[in-house]
Amino acid sequence: MKRPHEGAEVPDRSHARPEGLNDTTVEALGSLSKALETTERARGHLFSFHQLTGTADLELDRATSLLREAGHEEWARRIESEVLGRNVIPGHWTFQIVEAYDQTYYQTFKSLERDAVDELAEGRAHLYEAEMKEARRTHHHPDHTYRPDSPGTRPPTPPFDRRT
């Protein structure tokens, strides 16, 4: 990663590379962070799976009521006995899958990433991204400042109002 050039704005301390931290370590921590972010997305999909499966299970209540109302008692009973409240994998409802994922994998990964950043980079996260931002931005452009409080920073543009 290209380091910020001379005369560049100084990043806030939490995003400045500690003295002596080499490029490969910064890149490795960036990769570790990216892997954790991907795991966060996977965990979100797991929660989606949990909520969608639960919503479907609750909708079965409506389906069985309507089948009974339409005179199809046997189909209503069959849904209730074969699908309603069924384990999604042996011995597990979706909440148990989410809990097992969190306890077995996610919490360990999250803790390891935090420990690596604390030990190797003095607790400063996203150094790779911070240096990428500095390397890619256009200096002295009001929308390319290093920090939100940098001189010349423009306030956010309000959304376009189609009514005017």
Q: pLDDT tens-digit profile of 68-93?
A: 999 999 999 999 999 999 999 999 99
Residue 60 included in any domain: no
**How many C-beta atoms lie closer than 10 Å to residue 14's C-beta?**
12
First to last CA, the chain: 46
Residue 3 included in any domain: no
Average pLDDT taken over every residue of the chain: 88
- Encode pLDDT of 92-124 as tens digits: 999 999 999 999 999 999 999 999 999 999 999
Structural domains counted in the chain: 1
∠ at Cα 114 (109, 117), nearest 5°?
Answer: 125
Chain center to CA of 10: 28
Of 154, 109, 150, 113, nearest in space to 133 by CA: 150
- Domain that includes residue 45, residue range: 21-51+87-136
Strand partners, 92: 89
Residue 71 included in any domain: no
**How many C-beta atoms lie closer than 10 Å to residue 130's C-beta?**
22
Residue 7 included in any domain: no
Residue 125 included in any domain: yes
